Amino acid sequence: MSTQDTSALRERLADQFKSFVDPAFVLAEESERKPYECDGLAAYRHLPLIVVLPETIDDVQKIMRICHAEQVPVVARGAGTGLSGGALPLENGVLLSLARFNQILDIDKPNLCATVQPGVRNLAISEAAKPFGLYYAPDPSSQIACSIGGNVAENAGGVHCLKYGLTVNNLLSVTIVTAEGELVTLGSGGLDAEGFDLLALITGSEGMLGIVVEITVKLLPIQERAQVVMAAFDHVETAGQAVADLIAEGILPAGLEMMDQPSLQAAEDFVHAGYPVEAAAILLCEVDGDNEEVSEEIARVRQRLTDSGATEVRTAKDDNERARFWAGRKAAFPAVGRISPDYYCMDGTIPRKHLPYILREINRLGEVYGLRAANVFHAGDGNLHPLILYNGNEPGEIERAEAFGGKILEACVEVGGSITGEHGVGLEKINQMCAQFPPEEITLFHAVKAAFDQQGLLNPGKAIPTLNRCAEFGAMHISQGDMRFPHLERF
């Protein structure tokens, strides 16, 4: 599309949007569009054609009908905290921000649920539910800023997802606007609904199947007591094995997190959480329930960690110390940003038993690519977050960081894991989808996409690679003598 045609399309869309959206929330000037050029994966940037911030469901329906008639792609955006490029805009497309959908519509205590708009912050749900003795369980590290609509799009988790599940396990229903502007509700107020489980399908679909405009989430009673144990280890691999030992013991913690020396040192310098900075790694293990249950579980956890080689085991003495322990973990990402000009946050998942092997593999790959990694894990469910440290001002370092990250994800697949645990695929991991799925499954993914969005207007180019792209990816690996995945032979 020529510059002249692009300008004409932008002007035409702006005029149509301003007929029902407050003109102050239709952003067409370059300076107005600039803040929306990326999400949390700031390495990738595109300036959207136009940005629109609707306020009502009717507005969203009208926007989608206009875009469908004009054959203009649409990228939905929540708080922009995503780390996979899922909300990266298109230069020829509309960026539809749901920031104004920020109301908690209902707290239903008898039915243990809340109905909210997609722009509501994750933490705000628990804050609103607290006077009723309830809370919302999924708690991503970015919960103070991330929106529940984005959590649905990426199937976000958090430090307590081991016991309480991901976003998909904590939803009752989601209302979406389709690519054609129709309004559809998936799920119900009950624990189950008839027919295909389309609620699970829409969760984690990264805005490719519909625009989420209303969500009903499950709420849980606030536990009588929660207590956290911190354990220090002389070797990262020992800490990794301790995770497997705990779960094998039949202990199901509310949260089980791991940090290696670079990440815990950075967090301690930033938050002053009381971490033992001389340790090679620490585990944070939280249990919750009634008083008697927690006391018994804490004793079991302490004994198991000691038997697994912990050099120090410390139980938080009160809620303030517990909060400090978790504050350090939740601030790990920004804290690491203080020790490196840039970092590249990866997200993969493995069977817990392979955690020691993957830690060794990350160290080996770091030597190959000449870059360091600080590691933070949702260790209980095998979700890895290696933070690859690099300097974007140094030629070639971002490319090496991306290649390093890709190899980590491929190693996760090799041991039976996944290329994502909670950040989604977006643009970042689209090549590694070819390592995880054979052509038949990718073809099926495209068929599902087409069933919801026949014209391919919703967040195109994300999450699902084309078969041609996978053929090129497979050929590249074969030419490099790196044929680690047998199903690539079929490309």
127-153 pLDDT tens trace: 999 999 999 999 998 999 999 999 999
For 104-221, CATH number?
3.30.465.10
105, 214 in Cβ contact below 8 A? yes
pLDDT of residue 40: 92
In the chain, the amino acid numbered 305 is L
Task: Give the position of tokens 């969500």.
Answer: 215
Q: What is the pLDDT of residue 383?
A: 94
Between strands 383-390 and 348-349, the pairing is antiparallel
Contact 438, 53 (CB under 8 A): no
Please name the amino acid found at residue 344: Y
Residue 486: what pLDDT? 36
SS3 state of residue 390: strand
Q: Reply yes or no on whether the pLDDT at 483 is more than 50.
A: no
% residues pLDDT > 90 (the chain): 90
State mean pLDDT over 333-349: 94
Fold (topology level) of 225-336: Alpha-Beta Plaits (3.30.70)
Extract the tokens encoding 129. 């539910």
- The domain 3-97 having CATH identifier 3.30.43.10: the answer here is yes
* Range list of β-strands (E), 112-182: 113-116, 134-135, 171-177
pLDDT confidence band for 477 (50 / 70 / 90): low
Report the pLDDT averaged over residues 285-305: 97
| Domain boundary assignment for the chain | 3-97, 104-221, 225-336, 340-429, 430-491
The pLDDT value given to residue 341 = 94
Domains 3-97 and 104-221 share a fold: no
Q: Provide the pairing of β-strand 225-233 with 183-187.
A: unpaired
377 DSSP β-pair partners: 258, 384
| Chain segment 249-291, per-residue pLDDT in tens | 999 999 999 999 999 999 999 999 999 999 999 999 999 999 9
CA 270 to chain centre: 23
Backbone angles phi, psi at 195, to 5 degrees: 85, -170
State the pLDDT at residue 473.
Answer: 87
Q: At 28, is the pLDDT very low, low, confident or very high (cuts 50, 70, 90)?
A: very high
Provide the token pair at 217: 């989430």
Dihedral-angle region of residue 187 (phi above 0 means left; psi in -120 to 50 means alpha; beta otherwise): left
Return the CATH fold of 340-429.
Alpha-Beta Plaits (3.30.70)
What is the pLDDT at residue 474? 80
Look up tokens 């958090």; give the residue.
Answer: 158
Q: What Å distances lie between residue 455 and 347, 460, 491, CA to CA?
A: 30, 10, 26
Question: In whole angstroms, how far apart are CA 99 and each of 57, 171, 207?
Answer: 13, 21, 15
Q: d(Cα 422, Cα 156) in Å, to the nearest integer?
A: 5
Q: CA–CA distance from 230 to each of 128, 163, 167, 239, 274 (Å)? A: 30, 18, 26, 11, 10
CB burial of 152-176 (b: ≥16 within 10 Å; e: otherwise) equals bbbbbbbbbbbbbbbbbebbbbbbb
C-alpha 126/C-alpha 170 separation (Å) is 13
27 is written with which tokens? 């952003």
To 10 degrees, the CA torsion angle through 163, 237, 436, 478? 180
Among candidate residues 383, 314, 313, 351, the one with its CA nearest the CA of residue 141:
383
Q: How confident is the model at residue 323 (pLDDT cuts 50, 70, 90)?
A: very high
The CB density around residue 424, as the number of other CB atoms within 10 Å, is 28
* Confidence category of residue 4, pLDDT binned at 50, 70, 90: confident
Q: 62-87: string of b/e by CB count within 10 Å (b at 16+)? A: bbbbbbbeeebbbbbbbbbbbbbbbb
Local structure of 383: helix, strand or coil: strand
